[in-house]
């Protein structure tokens, strides 16, 4: 079952890389034994293609479990090293679509904050720049649409990440007064009952061997996006 689903979600594959779409709710790597995750499902898929050989699969970036969207995995250690550098150094373009509660103060902007991760609570928070362990987080946003849905204002944003911090989009938007729809972790007052309104919709990077620019895009499937027909 999992192999069929994973195969249906593969967007591109060659000898060095594998690009696929992660469904919302599926972890990239298992948090506990017995939980199916992207890494295991893809390894099973690759193992069936080369019986008797243990496949290599490098995780070079992640999406939170409730987030849907595009991920690239490495099929060689050399590709993993190259892609990891691109992700860390900002060489890759990571774009998201997000549905938030409320209205944005301006049609576009840049959010710059310092975030500190609390590993025990699996959360991050905005702190002052001189806080020990704080990391700078930069996010660019543009308003694509605003709607009144069930009597409440909701905003569709296109986001580009300049940094890749833990829960960055969720924390920064919540701090800005634009919590993600369905994000009960950073907005406990959310009563929508909807899954998280966040999708990694567009990924741009250089092929780790050829250097060719590769670009992939998907349309969100989550319920939060249903109120915005022009995505």
Pairing assessment for the beta strands 68-74 and 198-206 based on DSSP bridges = parallel
Q: Give the integer Cα–Cα distance in Å for 147 and 30.
A: 37
Q: What is the pLDDT of residues 95-139, one digit of tens each?
A: 999 999 999 989 999 999 999 999 899 999 999 999 999 999 999
Kindly report the pTM of this predicted structure.
Answer: 0.92
Residue 1: the pLDDT is 39
- Residue 2: pLDDT band with limits 50, 70, 90: very low
pLDDT average, residue stretch 199-222: 97
Residue 171: which of 218, 159, 223, 28 has the closest Cα?
Answer: 159
Q: What is the pLDDT of residues 153-210, one digit of tens each?
A: 999 999 999 988 999 999 999 999 999 999 999 999 998 889 999 999 999 999 999 9
- Check residue 224 and report its DSSP letter: G
Q: Give catalytic residues, as residue numbers.
A: 64
């Amino acid at each position: 079952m999992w192999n069929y689903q994973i195969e249906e979600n593969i967007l591109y594959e060659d000898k060095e890389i594998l690009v696929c779409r992660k469904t919302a709710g599926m972890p990239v790597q298992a948090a506990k034994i017995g939980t199916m995750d992207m890494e295991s499902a893809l390894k099973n898929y690759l193992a069936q293609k080369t019986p008797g050989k243990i496949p290599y699969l490098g995780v070079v970036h992640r999406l939170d479990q409730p987030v849907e969207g595009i991920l690239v995995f490495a099929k060689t250690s050399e590709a993993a090293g190259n892609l990891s550098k691109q992700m860390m150094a900002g060489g890759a373009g990571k774009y998201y679509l997000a549905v938030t509660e409320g209205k944005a103060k301006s049609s576009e902007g840049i959010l710059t904050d310092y975030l500190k991760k609390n590993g025990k609570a699996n959360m991050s928070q905005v702190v002052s720049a001189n806080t020990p362990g704080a990391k700078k987080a930069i996010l660019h946003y543009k308003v694509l649409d605003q709607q009144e849905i069930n009597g409440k204002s909701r905003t569709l944003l296109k986001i580009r990440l300049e940094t890749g911090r833990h829960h960055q989009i969720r924390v920064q938007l919540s701090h800005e007064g634009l919590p993600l729809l369905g994000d009960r972790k950073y907005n406990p007052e959310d009563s929508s009952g909807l899954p998280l309104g966040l999708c990694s919709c567009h990924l741009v990077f250089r092929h780790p061997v050829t250097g060719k620019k590769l670009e992939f895009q998907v349309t969100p499937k989550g319920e939060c996006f249903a109120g915005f027909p022009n995505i």
